Amino acid sequence: MSKAFTARCECGGLKVICKSTPDSLVQCHCSDCKARTGSPFGLGAYFQAGQFEIHGVSKRFVRKASSGADFTQFFCPACGTTLFWKTARHPDGLGVAAGNFLDLPETTPSRSVFDDDRCAWLAPLNVPTFRKGRDSERLQ
């Protein structure tokens, strides 16, 4: 097995152990990711089924994504950290808040989405960039 990478909530009660590097690392500028992170964008590491293990107790919050499909966020009931999420598009996969990894190597995001909502002072990355989601108009 290759090296495992661990993401955890602030108090350490909820963990995700990932058995590989992410399939993709996505920078998202949508208003929901901004609200979830309290920062100008969210950065999610995405893993396929079988590549992760979840340890600890979580609570969930379901919201509608811009596509209208369910977006389910899981957070620690003790400290409130939103650690991971599942989407209707990839119900067996997992998105993990990249900032919560203790040991994930620094990598450049593979794409940037919802760039229409990117803060004007934040320079775009030199990666595939999309007006809305990854199925929308590509900007670069």
- Would you state the structure tokens that stand for residue 116, as one six-digit string? 């229409």
Domains and CATH numbers, the chain: 5-22+42-105 (2.170.150.70)
**CA pair distance 46, 111, nearest whole angstrom:** 12
Beta bridge partners, 61, equal: 73
pLDDT of 2 reads 67
Q: What local confidence, expressed as pLDDT, does residue 1 receive?
A: 46
Per-residue model confidence as pLDDT tens for the chain (140 residues): 468 999 999 999 999 999 999 999 999 999 999 999 999 999 999 999 999 999 999 999 999 987 788 999 999 999 999 999 999 888 899 999 999 998 887 778 999 999 999 999 999 999 998 888 877 877 77
pLDDT of residue 44: 96
3-class secondary structure, 7: strand
